[in-house]
Each structure stands twice: as C-alpha cells, then as structure tokens.
Chain A
Amino acid sequence: MPSSFSPATLAGQPSSVVPLAGADALSRLAGRALPWAASAWCAVAVAGQLMFTAYVLSFYGRAAVAGQPEQWNKVLPHGWVPGDTPANLVTGLHLLFTVLIILSAVVQLLPVVRRRWPALHRWNGRFYVVSALLMASSGLLMITTRKTVGDWPQHLAIGLNGVLIIAFALVAWRLAVARRFEQHRRWALRLFLAVSGVWFFRIGLMAWIVLNQGPAGFDPETFTGPFLSFLGFAQYLLPLAVLEAYFRSRAQAGPRVRLAMAAGLAGLTLLTALGIGAATLIMWLPKMHGG
C-alpha cells in the first residue's frame, strides 16, 4: 500500500500525527488505522480509475484512430451521429478529457508532487480545474441535446452532478489562489469525488449486479428503475457524505469513532474492489478485446 496516498498529508497534516492526550493503545491504533484505511481506499480507487482509462483509450480511442467512431454507439447510444460534427466533437472531447482528467487526478493525489514539485502541482491543478469545467459542460450539453440512456431521474441526477463539479471546481481554484491550502485540499478532494461520479456509477452498478446475482431493481432493457434512480444520485452524494464523515472523525472524534470510521472505510474499500473487478471483467475487458 503506497504511503504516498496518505490522506493525512492530502488533508494537510503529517501522516505521523498521533493523538497526544491519553496516548493509550486505542488512541495509537485509531491514529494509525484511519489514515491507512483511507490510503487503502485511495490506492484501490486509483487502480480502478486507471483501468477505466485503459478501457476508454482502448475502445473509444482505437475506434477513433481506426476511423470507425460509429463503433462508439455500441456502448454510448447516439454517441456518434453521422453529419452532426459539432455534437460529435463534443462527445469526442468529453471522452478525451475523461482520460486526461483521471491521469491529472493521479498526479494531484501524490503528496510527493506537492512536496517536491509544487509548480507541477499548480499547473496540473489548473489543468484539472479547466478539464473538470469542460467535462461538466460537455456532459450537460450531451444530456440536453442527445438522446442518452436512462430516464429523467437519471438525467436530473447527472445534471446536478455537473452543477456540483462546476461549483466545487470554482471553490477549489479560488481557495488555491487565496492560498488557503487546508480548505483548498478539502474542496479539491470533494471535486475529485464529484468528477469520479460516473466512475462510481459503473462500479456501483456492477457490484450491485454481482451481489444480487443479476439485474435487480431496474429493467436492463430500458435501463430504468428505482435502483438506477437511486444510484444516479448516490454516485456522488454518497462518496461526498463518506468524505465528510472522514474529515469530521479525523478532526474531532475520539478513538472509538475513528476506529469505526476506519472499519467502515475498509469495508468500502472491499466493496470498491468488488465493483472494479466486476466492471473490469463484465464491462471493460470484453470491449477492450474487441467485443
């Protein structure tokens, strides 16, 4: 597990901080378990996002390079419409920036980059914020101008995700400019989770299908149903809620609460790994192999 993803350092504190008052075994354990649990989740999530990047490059990128962008429609209905150049360009840019923004996030998450190469962190941060604004805007355009899968609750959910991405990006950027780095880091992490919403949707759906041994709570033909409506909102609201719980438990809670938070994060790490594994095997690898 790479210590470079230490959330304590992500949030601006040295990872070696251990409660001083009443430094008993429980406090020490809690002081170590929470950053480690968060690091484990970060490492698994980064691996999963890189896998998603490889899929986008392999499937969408290969089709574009081969001059067969109509292949996109196998996965993304109406992703490519012959003759509709402006909208096709928006879709293509959205896909390109999907790859770039994930790679940019990986660089931003590495504490070593902030420590040793702050200029790289700043320029990459500007790129990340601009990419997030482009992704959210192009996503909103795609929802409103093209017939996309799902029903209105899902479209509303993804639209609100776009609104949150734009809002979080502006706050994170303004805080960095104002040199309020502790608050900036918190909003940057919120932005990262909001941007990762569509990724959470995929791994969440695949974990759900595996756990239920098949589609449950939605119609796989029409891709509508209560579970998908729930997941549409949960894809970003749930990770954001967990992040808030993490911030609060790390800053204020006693050792028992921090241990409970660490245990919860460990469980979520296993669930994330399950979702990534299922998405890789069911969705991504078959398409990467030309399926």
Chain B
Amino acid sequence: MTTHHIVAGLLSQSELLAIPVLLAVPAMLYWLTRVLRALRRLHP
C-alpha cells in the first residue's frame, strides 16, 4: 500500500468536506476584523 492509497483512503470521507469550511470561518472573521480595525484607526 503506497502513501497515495493511505492518503486517498483517509481523505475519501465526504464528512471531511466540512472541516476546511469550518476552519475558514474563524480565519475569515479574524481577517475581516483586522481590516475593519485598521480602517477604523485611519478614521477615528
């Protein structure tokens, strides 16, 4: 069994689709908050 088969097997679960989306939500909120804070500092 090659690395390819192991990784393909691990990642074949469709439930895993939700993980990157769930991880991206806090990351996007973080960045949008940083943007808003930076813009607010420019226009106090």
| A237 nearest CB across to chain B (Å) | 5
Please tell me if B1 contacts chain A, counting CB pairs below 8 Å: no
Q: A170-B39, A178-B42, A213-B2 are in contact. Are A233 and B24 (CB under 8 A)?
A: yes
Q: A153-B21, A175-B42 are in contact. Are A167 and B32 (CB under 8 A)?
A: yes
B11's partner among A167, A211, A226, A241 (CB-CB below 8 A) is A226
- Find out whether the CB atom of B24 lies under 8 angstroms from the CB atom of A237: yes
What is the CA–CA distance of A232 and B2 in the complex, to the nearest angstrom? Answer: 25
- Find out whether the CB atom of A171 lies under 8 angstroms from the CB atom of B4: no
- Find out whether the CB atom of B23 lies under 8 angstroms from the CB atom of A216: no
- Find out whether the CB atom of A232 lies under 8 angstroms from the CB atom of B39: no
- Find out whether the CB atom of B38 lies under 8 angstroms from the CB atom of A156: no
What is the CA–CA distance of A12 and B11 in the complex, to the nearest angstrom? Answer: 43
Contacting residues, chain B, for A170 (C-beta < 8 A): 35, 39
Contacting residues, chain A, for B4 (C-beta < 8 A): 212-214, 216
What is the CA–CA distance of A167 and B28 in the complex, to the nearest angstrom? Answer: 11
What is the CA–CA distance of A170 and B31 in the complex, to the nearest angstrom? Answer: 13
B38's partner among A153, A171, A229, A241 (CB-CB below 8 A) is A171
Contacting residues, chain B, for A213 (C-beta < 8 A): 2-4
Q: Mark A225-245, 1 if CB is under 8 A from B, else 0.
A: 111011011100100110000
Please tell me if A63 contacts chain B, counting CB pairs below 8 Å: no
Q: A171-B38, A175-B38 are in contact. Are A217 and B20 (CB under 8 A)?
A: no
- Taking Cβ atoms with an 8 Å cutoff, the residues of B that contact A are 2-4, 7-8, 10-14, 16-17, 19-21, 23-24, 27-28, 31-32, 35, 38-39, 42
The contact sample of 18 A-B pairs, CB cut-off 8 A, is A153-B17, A164-B28, A167-B32, A167-B35, A168-B35, A171-B38, A174-B42, A180-B42, A213-B2, A214-B4, A216-B7, A216-B11, A226-B13, A226-B16, A226-B20, A229-B17, A230-B19, A233-B23
- Taking Cβ atoms with an 8 Å cutoff, the residues of A that contact B are 153, 156-157, 160, 164, 167-168, 170-171, 174-175, 178, 180, 183, 187, 211-218, 225-227, 229-230, 232-234, 237, 240-241
